[in-house]
Structure 1
Amino acid sequence: MTGDVDLSTAFERVELPLETPFTIARGTQYTAANVVVRVEDGEHVGVGAAAPSGHYGESAATVEAVLPDLLAAVEDVADPLALDAVDARLDRVVGNNPAAKAAVRIACCDLAAKRLDVPLYRLFGLDGTQTVTSSFTIGIDDPERMAEKTRDAVDAGYTVLKTKLGTDDDEARLAAVREAAPDARIRVDANEAWTPREAVDNCEWLANYDVEFCEQPVPAEHPEGLRYVYERSAVPIAADESCVTLADIPRIADACDIANVKLMKCGGPRQAVAMFHAARAHGLETMLGCMIETNAAIAASVQLAPLLDYADLDGSLLLDADPYDGVPIPGGDVDLSGVERAGTGAREA
């Protein structure tokens, strides 16, 4: 079960249409390009996926460009359980490129857990009874359409909603969402759209709509702006674009309440776990988010739910169709206690 194993690897790009166009402050997305990775030991197949973001300097093309070197490194390590060695080798072979590394590391974690015949959360020693509820995202649209999307989400059983803001009429949009979901927990995400002064002013009226927290209200390149808002905000502040890797945790510790970690930003599941522990040590709450991803990636994030205060793991739900199934999260409720499928839980649909 340990020692040298003859591993084979492969990858393929998948173009995934979205169910409806998805708009945030930076633009509108119609499709998601993911790159699916497989690592095989002759008996088991580990699956992962990259969901690269141009905002962090990656694309499907850059992922495809570095994957041959990354996968060759995995084959060279030749031990599916030597995850430390794999991590170190990947970082030596390729700099940055976190989504590409995340795809490989997810596949390796999936394979390692399958070889031990345990779900990934058990491989990490987590308590599957510790649950969290994921939010469902309402993208930017006109207020009437956002209200319609909200009603659909509530009818589908979602009790936690994340509303994208960053327009010239944000309050009207949030008011429409709140009216359509008077009992829901609502979070907002401005995706860096506001100035610090605008953010402080906006957080005043956000509080009037019983908003749980505001995510990344100001541009990440101005860390003093995030601290300015945090010190004056009427609602808690979450850092997303300002919280990319482990090194960012101490930098944001006095500038927000919540650290939003994503596998595609930090480079993989074990890297995310390190960030959660560091965030706790710095007095921050923890959140795990996602890009628009196939379940080949999202399933690994779901397995980390016991470490979270908040979750935003709806990326695969925004797709028109997903070639992979994952861990079911009906209405956003994550409960791993009954999950017995080994690995991340991802499997071909």
Structure 2
Amino acid sequence: MASHRTDAGLTTEFERLALPLDDPFTIARGTIETAENVLVRVSDGTHEGVGAAAPSTYYGETPATVEAVLPELLEVVEDVGDPHVRQRIEREMRERVDRNPAARAAVDTALADLAAKRLDVPLYRQWGLDPDAAPVSSFSIGLAEPDEMRQRAERAVEEGYSILKVKLGAGRTGERLTAVREGAPGATVRVDANGAWTPAEAVAKSEILADCGVEFVEQPVPADDVVSLRRVRDRGAVPVAADESVVTASDVARVADAVDIVVAKLQKCGSLRETRRVAAGAHAHGCEAMIGCMVASNATVAASAHLAPLFDYADLDGSLLLDSDPFDGVAMPGGAIDLAAVERAGTGAVEAGG
């Protein structure tokens, strides 16, 4: 653990967390068995804010790169010395470290948590959001053999989840979706291909998706192929969402006429403010918006839950895929994001058992 005390009396620390998953989680790009997060703490001596980075190699980050840039990012916190001035801190962190959004998000989340704790309010109340407007979160079913996906879908429904996000890859689309439907015949099903399909495959597979009652397909083609996204949206049989194609709010205009839904994630946006900007940009361009997350601790997922009322859809099951989480967060029974039940100030993330 690295720590430092600022001239303003703030103590900053960070440490790496290895978080084993309940089951190996597979998407089209590969399998993970352990989520590597980097926890950030910022304390004023009375209150402590926590946040976490859940870096993705897809976006060019690893736990090692996060740890390498955190001292410089925390130097910005030290120079400013006030967690309530996050607009300035966000700008100066971006000026110093442009390509490490998960690292910046960890610091921003810790500061937001600390600032709200000083005001003794949950984040959603500080922002003036309606807790009843939060959409129900989906629960992810990783790519696996059809029978295993059926069993996982059946178990998720038994545990109360009514919306499933099914990860698919290059082959056996019909088999896998049929198996999921057998396990969860009444569930809302969404599909995420993580850019694994060609445009022609995506259009053809969309017919299978429609026959299985899929609500929409997320990132059917590679992220940089906006023309193909538009082709799938125009010729396919289900609505299309863009995840990897949209990193920050500046990307929304580029894809808005090619998709129906834009996906924002704190870890790729780099701050809570930027995540909110993606939602606003999507709605301004006539798209719907979904708040997503990485496989991660509640130290980061809880903050995203407070943003949920700004979005039309939610996919915030990242901490639910872990075998155990050192932090408790916002209650999500069956995927229902229960912000109204949040009694703790800040993000609501607190060390488990604390």
TM-score range relative to shorter protein: over 0.9
Cα shift at 1:142: 0.5
Runs of 5+ unmatched residues, structure 2: 1-6
Which of 168, 173, 179 is the equivalent residue of 1:165? Answer: 168
- Residue 290 of structure 1 aligns with which residue? 293
Secondary structure of the structure 2 residue equivalent to 1:337? helix
One-letter amino acid of the counterpart of residue 336, structure 1: L
Which of 213, 220, 223 is the equivalent residue of 1:220? Answer: 223
In the alignment, does 2:193 pair up with 1:190?
yes
Cα shift at 1:223: 1.5
One-letter amino acid of the counterpart of residue 103, structure 1: A
In the alignment, does 2:275 pair up with 1:272?
yes
- Residue 308 of structure 2 aligns with which residue? 305
Distance across 2 between alignment mates of 1:131 and 1:23: 28
CA RMSD of aligned residues (A): 0.9
Cα shift at 1:222: 1.5
Cα shift at 1:330: 0.4
- Residue 77 of structure 2 aligns with which residue? 74
- Residue 127 of structure 1 aligns with which residue? 130
Cα shift at 1:287: 0.2
Q: Deviations over 1:229-279 (max 9, x none)?
A: 111121010000001111110001001000010001110211101111111
* Aligned partners of 1:215 and 1:237 also within 8 Å: yes
Cα shift at 1:167: 3.2
- Residue 231 of structure 1 aligns with which residue? 234
- Residue 90 of structure 2 aligns with which residue? 87
Q: Give the alignment of 1:99-118 within 5 angstroms.
A: 99-118=102-121
Distance across 2 between alignment mates of 1:131 and 1:241: 23
Distance across 1 between alignment mates of 2:288 and 2:277: 14
Cα shift at 1:129: 2.1
Runs of 5+ unmatched residues, structure 1: none
One-letter amino acid of the counterpart of residue 87, structure 2: D
Q: Deviations over 1:293-325 (max 9, x none)?
A: 000000000011111110000011111111100
* Aligned partners of 1:165 and 1:190 also within 8 Å: yes
- Residue 204 of structure 1 aligns with which residue? 207
One-letter amino acid of the counterpart of residue 296, structure 2: E
* Aligned partners of 2:90 and 2:271 also within 8 Å: no
Percent identity, please. 59
One-letter amino acid of the counterpart of residue 341, structure 1: R
* Aligned partners of 1:130 and 1:335 also within 8 Å: no
Cα shift at 1:17: 0.8
Secondary structure of the structure 1 residue equivalent to 2:76? helix
Q: Deviations over 1:59-106 (max 9, x none)?
A: 000000000000111111011111111111111121120000000000
Secondary structure of the structure 1 residue equivalent to 2:194? coil
- Residue 180 of structure 2 aligns with which residue? 177
Cα shift at 1:126: 0.9
Distance across 2 between alignment mates of 1:92 and 1:41: 25
Cα shift at 1:192: 0.4
In the alignment, does 2:101 pair up with 1:98?
yes
One-letter amino acid of the counterpart of residue 41, structure 1: D
Distance across 2 between alignment mates of 1:124 and 1:92: 26
Cα shift at 1:187: 0.1
Cα shift at 1:8: 1.3
One-letter amino acid of the counterpart of residue 37, structure 1: V
In the alignment, does 2:23 pair up with 1:20?
yes
- Residue 49 of structure 2 aligns with which residue? 46
Distance across 1 between alignment mates of 2:258 and 2:57: 25
Q: Deviations over 1:92-126 (max 9, x none)?
A: 12112000000000001001100100001112221
* Aligned partners of 1:132 and 1:335 also within 8 Å: no
Distance across 2 between alignment mates of 1:168 and 1:339: 42
Distance across 1 between alignment mates of 2:121 and 2:131: 12
Which of 342, 345, 353 is the equivalent residue of 1:342? Answer: 345
- Residue 257 of structure 2 aligns with which residue? 254
Distance across 1 between alignment mates of 2:109 and 2:27: 27
* Aligned partners of 1:34 and 1:51 also within 8 Å: yes
- Residue 62 of structure 1 aligns with which residue? 65
One-letter amino acid of the counterpart of residue 283, structure 2: R
Secondary structure of the structure 2 residue equivalent to 1:129? helix
In the alignment, does 2:10 pair up with 1:7?
yes
Secondary structure of the structure 2 residue equivalent to 1:341? coil
Secondary structure of the structure 1 residue equivalent to 2:231? helix
- Residue 4 of structure 2 aligns with which residue? none
- Residue 326 of structure 1 aligns with which residue? 329
The TM-score, its normalising length taken from structure 2, stands at 0.96
The TM-score, its normalising length taken from structure 1, stands at 0.98
